[in-house]
Amino acid sequence: ESEVPSFIASNVSQYSCQRKTTLNNHNKKFTDAFEIMAENYEFKENEVFCLEFLRAASVLKFLPFPVTRMKDIQGLPCMGVQVRDLIEEIIEDGESSRARDVLNDERYKSFKQFTSVFGVGVKTSEKWYRMGLRTLEEVKALKTLKLSKMQKAGFLYYEDLVSCVSKAEADAVSLIVKKAVCTFRPDALVTITGGFRRGKKIGHDIDFLITSPGPREDAELLHKGLLLYCDIIESTFVKEQLPSRQVDAMDNFQKCFAILKLYQPRAENNSDNTSKNFDVAEVKDWKAIRVDLVITPFEQYAYALVGWTGSRQFGRDLRRYATHEKKMILDNHALYDRRKKVFLKAGSEEEIFAHLGLDYVEPWERNA
């Protein structure tokens, strides 16, 4: 007599790589609260509690129905005590007092502001908070504060960067990047990854994976003229190195966390000809956009694609699944079978899932 007869809670895997999670979230009320709690724990560098809430959010994003009673979550994985308490609160009161307390918390509010600046992470936020700084205005006013090149760019283009990137902007940037890359390497393959590949309509940046067949690795791929800011990190990948076992896969690809200048003619303001001869020259006809460019050797392309498509939680669970269920080690470069002591080659994402004994999950079903 359950609402969704085909749904059996105890069959739900604890790993999001064994679930199909689209953007159609029936439990946003709950998952938003979980993500606030997780972020607060991230700011406190409490990884265990942070992951507990992120895993729970990911399970509820997958549920094909909205949770309305505690009975609805019976038998589901990743529903710890903290999580259940929050769900109970939201069912009873429509919102969580705990999540509300976090939103009103001084430390959380400061960290939220600080980390909204490109180049500012938890470590820098901690430092600023300990110095007694609470708002971005206070940070900007403190002229003696040493900022990195990245953080300076973050403040300079702040307004543009906090406003989200649309799908249309992503498509426009994609054309520009493809054109620029192909002047250097006509045979290059340029793929949008990240949230846009998962079907999201907005994002905080645009992620690109760039590869080309053949042996050369090319530093000149990243065309200067179009970038407002570019922090190029040289490849540090060592051949034969075992995949990393960290929870969050960082990788050793050559990459560039960039800010791109996207020219966009102002929407027809010109019809109002009173402004025509005045500050036309002052009108900003471009938008700063965060772009991640990742260059990968051709034979690692499939692994890089899985890693950079995300979601972050999906990637974490893939690696956790590989480690705990398959005695394999997965990262953005490779998959290593510890029993057979071999690296498993893959030319496509499908092959990687097959190596892991997993059913293939499409990019738009990886919104865990």
Which of the choices Mn ion, ligand TTP, none does residue 311 contact, using the CB cut-off of 5 to 8 A by kind? Answer: ligand TTP
Shortest Cβ contact with ligand TTP: which residue? 310
Query: How crowded is residue 15: how many other Cβ atoms within 10 Å of its Cβ?
Result: 22
Q: Does 231 bind Mn ion (CB under 5 A)?
A: no
Q: Was 205 annotated as part of a binding site?
A: yes
As measured in angstroms, the least distance from the Cβ of 275 to ligand TTP is 35
Residue 292 annotated as catalytic: yes
d(CA 145, CA 142): 6
284, amino acid identity? K
Q: Was 32 annotated as part of a binding site?
A: no
Residue 72 annotated as catalytic: no
- Based on CB atoms, which residue is closest to ligand TTP, 96 or 332? 332
The CA radius of gyration of the chain, in Å to the nearest whole number, is: 23
Residue among 277, 276, 367, 358 at smallest CA distance from 322: 358
Q: Does 39 bind Mn ion (CB under 5 A)?
A: no
Which of the choices ligand TTP, Mn ion, none does residue 119 contact, using the CB cut-off of 5 to 8 A by kind? Answer: none
Q: Does 24 bind Mn ion (CB under 5 A)?
A: yes
Which of the choices ligand TTP, Mn ion, none does residue 312 contact, using the CB cut-off of 5 to 8 A by kind? Answer: ligand TTP
Shortest Cβ contact with Mn ion: which residue? 194
In this structure, what token pair is assigned to residue 117?
A: 């600046």
- Based on CB atoms, which residue is closest to ligand TTP, 25 or 96? 25
205, amino acid identity? D
Quickly list DSSP for 95-151: S-HHHHHHHH-HHHHHHHHHTTSTT--HHHHHHHHHTT--SHHHHHH-TT----HHH
Q: Was 207 annotated as part of a binding site?
A: yes
As measured in angstroms, the least distance from the Cβ of 228 to ligand TTP is 18
Q: State the residues that interact with ligand TTP by CB under 6 A.
A: 194-195, 200, 203-205, 207, 249-251, 307-308, 310-312, 315, 332
Residue 279 annotated as catalytic: no
Active-site choice (205, 251, 317, 331): 205
d(CA 195, CA 322): 23
Among 89, 292, 325, 337, binds Mn ion (CB under 5 A): 292
Q: Are 227 and 176 in contact (CB under 8 A)?
A: no
Return binding residues for Mg(2+): 205, 207, 292
Q: Applying CB under 5 A, which residues contact Mn ion?
A: 24, 64, 194-195, 205, 207, 292
